[in-house]
Amino acid sequence: MNPNITLENTYLTLPEEFYTAQLPSKVPSPNLVKWNSSLAKELGLDSEFFQSKEGVLILSGNKVLENSTPIAEAYAGHQFGYFTMLGDGRAVLLGEIVTKDGERYDIQLKGSGRTPYSRGGDGKATLGPMLREYIISEGMKGLRIPSTRSLAVLTTGETILRETMLPGAILVRTAKSHIRVGTFQYANQFLDTKELRALADYTIERHFSEVSSKGERYRNLLHEVVNSQARLIAKWQLVGFIHGVMNTDNMAICGETIDYGPCAFMDTYHPETVFSSIDREGRYSYQNQPGMASWNLARFAEALLPLLHDNKEKAIEIAQEEFNLFSKWYHNYWYEGMRKKLGLFHKNEMDEHLIEALLSMMLKYEADFTNTFRDLTLSQTTQMKLADSTEYQQWISLWQERRKQQEESLEESRKLMESVNPAVIPRNHRVEEALERAVNFKDYAALDSLVAVLRHPYDYQNLNDYYTTPPGEAACGYRTFCGT
C-alpha cells in the first residue's frame, strides 16, 4: 500500500536557528491503539493505510517518509513566571499537510525521544497523558473551541520511569502550527532583529495573510493575536475549562488551545479552582486565566518591540495600545457568551447584574457549573441547594421577565441556549475511569464511548446521566499531572 501523501515543511524556510534536524527515536514494538478516523478524513489521509503495519511504522517514527524532513523546534518561555530556554524536548515535527481546502496542518510526534532541547529529560511520553490529550482535544473540538487535535496514539513497547514504571506511548498531534509566544521570545532574546522579522513575516503569511499587505504589518500581527486569544480564553471560561499550565510556551500564536497536560474541567463552580499538582499558588486557576493570558500577551508585545517602530518609546506606545485591547475584547466576548447561555439575544443594561447574581449564587450554594446552565436550558431542577433558595427563585423571575422582553420567542431563546450550553463535558471522574481501564487493562471501550459522547456535547435529545452526573465528594480533591 502507498500512503499517497506529500509532507511539506515551510518552517525550513526560516533561519536555521529556529530548529534542529531531528529524526524520531525508533521504538521496539509500536502498536496503534487509537486512530482518529474523522480527523484523518478531514486531512485527506488513507485510514486503511495508516492502520496497516507500514502505516504504524510511519506514525511511530520508525519509518520516515521520503518527502519528510523531521525537525525539533526551538523556543523559550516563561514557566510559572520564570524565563528559560526551552524547545521541543520530546517532540518532532514531521512536516505539514495541506488539505483539499487549502488548510495547512503540522503533523508532530509527541514522545518521540530526546532532542537537543530535552534538558536532561528522556524525551518520552507515557500512555495515560497521551490518551488524556486525545480525549480532551476531541472534547474541545466538540465544544467548538479552537484546539490542536490528536490523530493517533501508539504504544511503543517500552516501559518509562516516572513516579512508577508506565507504558510508553507516542501521540500524533495536528496543529495549524506550533509557533508560540515563546518562539518570539526566543527570537527576541537570543537572535537578531533580522531573525525576529523573518519569524514574524512567516507567521503573518501562514496565519494572518489578510493583514500582510497592510501598512503596519507587525502592529496588525499583534492586533490579531491579542484578539484571537481574547476570544479563545472567553470560550474556555464559558465551559469551565482550566488549562493548568498557561506558560508562554503554551500559548499558540494561531489561537488554538495547545498542551493538555494538567488540564481539567470545573465541576462545582468556584473561581479559585485549580487542579494542577504543580500549580501550588493557584497562578493558573480558573479566575486567573484571563489575567494570565493578558500577561503572556504582554510578553509577546515586548518581543515584537524591535519591529513595531524604530523609536523604542514609540514602539512601546504602539504595543501598549494594542495590548490594552485584550481586556475590552475579552469582556465583550465573555459577556456575549454569557448572554447566549441565558438565552438573551441582545444587550440590556440589566444583563451584567443578572449574570453576576447567578454566578454569586452558584458559588454560595456550590452548584455544578455545567449542570446549572443545562438545567436552565431544560427548565428543570437538579441543583437542589441552589434551587430551594429564595434568592434563586427571585432571580428566575427576573430572568424570565428579561427573556419575555425580547422580540424572539421563548422557544427561540431555548434553542439558543441549547446551542451554547453543553449537556456534557469531559467530566474528570469519567476521564480518569476511561484512562484507568485503558492503561491498566488495555480495555478501550469506556474511552471510545466517552469520546463518542464528547463529540456531540450539545445533543439534548440523547442525554445520558452517566456522563452528566457530577462526581461525589470523594472526587473533590482531584489533581492532575503534567506527564513529564
Strand (E) or helix (H) holding 46: none
String of DSSP letters for 133-155: HHHHHHHHHHTT--B-EEEEEEE
Q: Which residues contact 160 (CB under 8 A, 6 or more apart)?
A: 122, 124, 125, 126, 166, 167, 168
SS3 labels along 230-260 = HHHHHHHHHHCEECCCCCHHHEECCCCECCC
Residue 202 three-state SS: helix
Is 249 annotated in the active site?
yes
C-alpha cell at position 33 = 491503539
- b/e per residue 383-403 (b: at least 16 CB within 10 A): beebbeeeebeebeeebeebb
Asked if 335 contacts 249 with a C-beta cutoff of 8 angstroms, the reply is no
Q: How far is CA 148 from the centre of its chain?
A: 6
Annotated catalytic residue, options 106, 122, 249, 279: 249
* Residues taking part in catalysis: 249
